[in-house]
Copies of this chain bind each other. A is one copy, B any other.
Amino acid sequence: MKSTMVTIRDVAKESGFSSTTVSIVLNSAPLARYIPASTKKCIERAAKKLGYRPNLFARSLRSQRSHTVGVMVFDMTDPYCTLVLRGIENSLYQSSYLPILTDVHNERSRFERYLEMLLDRRVEALIVLANWLFVDIDVLADLEKSSIPTVMIGRELQTDSISSVLVDNELGAHAALEHLYSLGHRKIAIIRGPKTLADSAPRWKGIRSFAKSVELEIDPRLVLDLPESRDPISSFEAGYQLTEDLLKQRRPFTALMAFDDMTAFGAIRALAKAGLRVPEHCSVIGFDDVAASALYTPSLTTIRQPMEVMGTIAVSIALDGVNAVLEKRQLSAVHRKIAPELAVRESTRRLL
């Protein structure tokens, strides 16, 4: 039945050497340089013949290493996650680490339980994708006491024990408004993010900073805020609703800047329902560049977050942290802010 249970002792018996020697050879440990090539070859042949695979539980028990990284996502259904996860997965693969994926569903209890489970499994690092985050900050403080290298994507903590990878929201929003402005738009409606979402404030700052630089007046009656909601898809519905409200006001606008792509999709839907075509009657710009944006009709002009790259960077910071711990080096948190880029597509056009 369990013919697949070849231990190091079996290899030892087969090769005629002790398990110590086998271990040294197969791991090419430092001592292996004293061992003659003939012995090595013999042991390797025996191992291959028996199909020996080391038991990782035993190895981990000794070494206290799991070669595993915990990945926590706050809401898996957020399309923002997909590419970030791809980036994480790919980088971990290069380093022979495996990810344990957990989805917090934006629930405090789940966060706590999962954190415990991951720590119990001795994950060597933790990557937290705080994409659509509506839990109290103090929950995140739990992360600090975890004492393993931790990287947050999409959110920065005050503490200097947790690294972060962020998109430069201010820069992105600045570029988005600049794009609309350069196309001749002056009456621009803006749908801002929920106040409690960390991204909202810097994006608004970027908007005001650009507006100021060209003395563009932002009509406060054309500025609306998304409500809070735990569901990332909800910004679609809210975008739809707010745009309808906007249209009811009958204050003219020729372009709309949405908080994110979901919101933009909602806005386009509302405009279409009112008989307004995008971009002919109104230009619309989003933020994020989720996969659907390129597939939309019209395809969505947006600010692209380099999500896959962000995942890659997070892994690299995390594994640096792991190495630092192994070498007992002190390593302080790293904070990277990544520049987004404007992706011009069909949903925006020059004002005629």
A28 to chain B: which residues have CB within 8 Å? Answer: none
In the assembly, what is the distance between CA of A256 and CA of B120, in Å?
53
Decide if A117 is an interface residue (CB 8 Å cutoff): yes
At the interface, yes or no: A121 with Cβ under 8 Å from chain B? yes
Mask of A55-92 contacts with B, CB within 8 angstroms, 1/0 = 11110110010101001000011010111011001100
A147 at the interface (CB under 8 A from B): yes
A76 to B71, CA, bound (A): 15
- Tell me if A303 is interfacial: C-beta within 8 Å of chain B: no
Structural contact, A98 and B86, CB atoms closer than 8 A: no
Chain B residues within an 8 Å CB radius of A268? 297
Copies held by the complex: 2
Residue of A272, A295, A298 with highest tally of chain B CB at under 10 A: A295
Contact status B295-A236, CB under 8 Å: yes
**Per-residue interface assignment for chain A, residues 101 to 134, with 1 indicating a CB less than 8 Å from any chain B CB and 0 otherwise:** 1110100001000100111111000000000000
Q: How far is the CA of A266 from the CA of B294 in the complex (A)?
A: 10
Quick one: given A56-B122, A58-B61, A82-B82, are A99 and B100 in contact (CB under 8 Å)? yes
Q: Does A296 contact B (CB under 8 A)?
A: yes
A53 contacts chain B at the CB level, 8 A cutoff: yes
**A143 to B201, alpha carbons, bound, how many Å?**
50
A268-292 residues at the B interface, CB under 8 angstroms? 268-269, 272, 291-292
Interface residue A158 (Cβ < 8 Å from any Cβ of B):
no
Cα A77 to Cα B90 in complex, Å, equals 12
Residues of B within 8 A of A102 (CB): 89, 93, 98
Q: Which listed residue, B81, B96, B114, B297, touches A269 by the CB 8 Å rule? A: B297
Interfacial chain B residues near A114, Cβ < 8 Å:
93
Complex-state Cα separation, A319 to B99, whole angstroms: 21
* A122 with B76, Cβ < 8 A, contacts A102-B98, A296-B296, A297-B272 known: no
Give the distance to chain B from A276, nearest Cβ to Cβ, in Å: 11
Please tell me if the beta carbons of B56 and A120 are within 8 angstroms of each other in the complex.
yes
> A27 near B: Cβ within 8 Å?
no
Q: Considering the chains assembled together, what is the distance between the CA atoms of A57 and B100 in angstroms?
A: 16
Within the complex, the shortest CB–CB distance from A97 to chain B, in Å, comes to 10
Q: How far is the CB of A285 from chain B (nearest CB, A)?
A: 16
What chain B residues lie within 8 Å of A55 (beta carbons)?
Answer: 61
Chain B contacts of A66 at CB under 8 A? 57
Given contact pairs A102-B98, A291-B77, A57 touches B61 in the complex (Cβ within 8 A): yes
Most buried by B among A86, A265, A297: A297
A291 surroundings in chain B (CB, below 8 A): 77, 79, 233, 292
Please, which residues of chain B bring their CB within 8 A of the CB of A147? Answer: 4
Report A75 CB to chain B, min CB distance, Å.
9
Q: Does A262 contact B (CB under 8 A)?
A: yes
Q: How far is the CA of A81 from the CA of B269 in the complex (A)?
A: 26
> Which residue of chain B has its CB nearest to the CB of A262?
B295
- Partner-B contacts on A (CB < 8 A): 4, 53-58, 60-61, 64, 66, 68, 71, 76-77, 79, 81-83, 85-86, 89-90, 93, 96, 98-103, 105, 110, 114, 117-122, 147, 233, 236, 262, 265-266, 268-269, 272, 291-292, 295-299
Could you jot down 6 A-B contacts, CB within 8 Å?
A57-B57, A76-B86, A93-B110, A98-B118, A262-B295, A265-B297
